């Protein structure tokens, strides 16, 4: 996991959304990061430093003159901390702190540290909607954005005053996602475009009904996150999903197999890696009805189905002339003869790798969070992986992709 061993400086300011940031600090710590919390005086009115200390297992800093165990003052110690941080998160960020950061004030420990911190900054604002919308705040946000600072939210919703509006801090999960993306932005896939097809498709019978499948899109979304965390520029071409599109991933909706085919072909010339994780319908109704089919009109209904385009097979064909994508990965979901079918797909569709899963097993396949896969590559024996979460499968698949990409490009250079 990308958070493992990373140093995160978490600046906490005085807003009621702070209770969610305790959870964020805990999640980051559980993910393996070393989290150093610096609070403003106002923040301590909402939550005691002790709370953050307990969840991070580390000292929390508020007062610039607070002596610390090695005898230095916190102000000095934290200059070192700021310099060694991999990421600086400010959450919740009040209008006041955003203003102080935009103008380079150093009137407390947090703002002083900010001036020494060259790591990427991630700000999650939280304030009343009129404060967020004010020209002063918007100008301060623009200054920080121009300097390369990343903002997550705020979003619309219920505010501390009881009113509804834009100003609500995003959920900790979204801050986590953005943090992962920023930590990975110089990773081995930086500057590479990775295109992933995900979810199922819906093939219309009439304007109301469709033929669909049980794909949740979880595997494709996990792959998109893993690719993003390695620095890739990720495009997710997806049908209906049961999970949200992750932060920092460009989503293109394609409801039918034909739409997914067109979206994929359009982006192919700029694609380095293509992963076909979508459960694409193999057949569609030949003539969808223009009006809703009425049951009163017949006792029986026969729908003639015709084949849809095989997206991955076409990608495999075109890559021969285009030289792109450099790497193509497919999935094989089967209920029997898994390895034989997967092996056949590897060659027939001109793929570099197939992730094969036996969807008859209760812990693998559609809509569950785990997967038991076997990896097939050219000129290699099939490699069974243990039962893993879909996130772990995704991370390992992306590590393989990095290796495959190096191999193809190594061959080109030679």
DSSP for residue 279:
B
Contacts to ligand C5P from residues 272-311, by CB under 6 A: 276-278, 280, 282, 308, 310-311
Tokens of 389: 């979460």
Shortest separation between residue 373's beta carbon and ligand C5P, angstroms: 12
State CA 190 to chain mean position distance.
15
> For ligand C5P, which residue of 237, 257, 346, 373 counts as binding (CB under 6 A)?
257
CB of 382 to ligand C5P, least distance (A): 16
**From the candidates 96, 140, 186, 213, which is the catalytic residue?**
213
> What character string, x for contact with ligand C5P (CB under 6 A) and - otherwise, covers 27-46?
--------------------
* Concatenated DSSP letters of 323-347: ---SEEEEEEEESSSHHHHHHHHHH
Count of other CB atoms within 10 angstroms of residue 196: 27
Would you count residue 271 as binding ligand C5P (CB under 6 A)? no
Containing 45, the helix (H) or strand (E) segment is helix 43-46
Tell me which stretch binds ligand C5P (CB under 6 A): 12-20, 70-78, 209-217, 271-279: 271-279
Q: Which residue, 189 or 257, is less far from ligand C5P as judged by CB?
A: 257
Q: Does 312 bind ligand C5P (CB under 6 A)?
A: yes
Number of Cβ within a 10 Å radius of residue 64: 18
Task: Check residue 197 for interaction with ligand C5P (CB under 6 A).
Answer: yes
219 interacts with ligand C5P by CB under 6 A = no
What distances in angstroms separate CA 358 from CA 12, 326, 342, 381, 384, one per listed residue? 46, 27, 11, 18, 11
| CB 151, min distance to ligand C5P, A | 35
Q: Which residues in 317-336 contact ligand C5P (CB under 6 A)?
A: 330-332
- Which residue from 328, 326, 375, 376 is spatially nearest to 349, judged by alpha carbons? 328
| Contact call for residues 206 and 185 (beta carbons, < 8 A) | no
State how far the Cα of 340 lies from the Cα of 376, in Å rounded to an integer: 10
Q: How far is the CB of 53 from ligand C5P (least distance, A)?
A: 48
Q: Is 345 in the site for ligand C5P (CB under 6 A)?
A: yes
Q: If you search the block for the tokens 């290699």, which residue do you land on?
A: 380
Residue 349 DSSP class? T
Residue closer to ligand C5P (CB basis): 75 or 396: 396
Which is it for the CA torsion 140, 142, 145, 147, positive or negative?
negative
Q: How far apart are CA 376 and CA 356, in angstroms?
A: 8
Q: Which is nearer to ligand C5P, 10 or 249 (CB)?
A: 249
Choose between 210 and 331: whose C-beta lies nearer to ligand C5P. Answer: 331
Q: Using the rule CB under 6 A, is 171 a contact of ligand C5P?
A: no
Pairing of strands 7-12, 87-93: parallel
Smallest distance from ligand C5P to CB 218, Å: 14
Q: Is 213 a catalytic residue?
A: yes
Residues that bind ligand C5P (CB under 6 A): 197, 257, 276-278, 280, 282, 308, 310-312, 330-332, 345
Catalytic positions are 213
């Amino acid at each position: 996991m990308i958070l493992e061993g990373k140093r995160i400086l978490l600046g906490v300011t005085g807003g009621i959304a702070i209770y969610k940031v305790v959870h964020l600090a805990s999640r980051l710590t559980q993910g393996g990061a070393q989290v150093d919390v610096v609070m403003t005086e106002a923040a301590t009115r909402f939550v005691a430093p002790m709370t953050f200390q307990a969840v991070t297992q580390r000292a929390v800093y508020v007062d610039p003159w607070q002596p610390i165990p090695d005898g230095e003052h916190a102000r000095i110690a934290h200059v070192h901390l700021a310099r060694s941080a991999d990421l600086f998160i400010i959450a919740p960020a009040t209008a006041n702190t955003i203003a102080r950061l935009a103008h380079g004030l150093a009137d407390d420990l947090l703002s002083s540290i900010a001036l020494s911190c060259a790591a990427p900054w991630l700000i999650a604002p939280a304030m009343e909607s009129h404060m967020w919308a004010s020209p002063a705040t918007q100008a301060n946000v623009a200054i920080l954005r121009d300097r390369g600072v990343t903002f997550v939210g705020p979003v619309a919703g219920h505010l501390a005053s009881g009113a509804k509006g834009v100003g609500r801090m995003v959920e900790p999960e979204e801050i986590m996602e953005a943090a992962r993306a920023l930590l990975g932005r110089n990773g081995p896939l930086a500057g590479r475009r990775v295109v992933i097809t995900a979810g199922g498709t819906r093939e219309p019978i009439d304007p109301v009904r469709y033929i669909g499948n049980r794909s949740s899109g979880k595997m494709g979304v996990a792959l998109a996150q893993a690719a993003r965390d390695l620095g890739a520029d990720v495009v997710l071409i997806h049908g209906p999903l049961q999970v949200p599109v992750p932060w920092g991933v460009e989503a293109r909706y394609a409801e039918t197999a034909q739409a997914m085919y067109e979206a994929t072909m359009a982006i192919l010339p700029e694609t380095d890696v293509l992963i076909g994780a979508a459960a694409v319908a193999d057949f569609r109704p030949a003539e969808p009805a223009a009006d809703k089919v009425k049951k009163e009109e017949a006792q029986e209904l026969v729908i003639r189905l015709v084949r849809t385009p095989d997206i991955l097979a076409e990608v495999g064909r075109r890559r021969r002339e285009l030289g792109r994508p450099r790497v193509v990965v497919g999935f094989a979901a089967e209920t029997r003869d898994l390895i034989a079918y997967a092996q056949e797909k590897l060659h027939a569709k001109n793929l570099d790798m197939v992730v094969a899963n036996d969807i008859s097993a209760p812990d693998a396949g559609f809509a569950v969070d785990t997967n038991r896969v076997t990896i097939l590559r050219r000129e290699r024996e099939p490699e069974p992986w243990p039962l893993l979460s879909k996130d772990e499968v995704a991370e390992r698949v992306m590590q393989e992709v990095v290796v495959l990409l190096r191999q193809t490009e190594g061959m080109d250079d030679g």
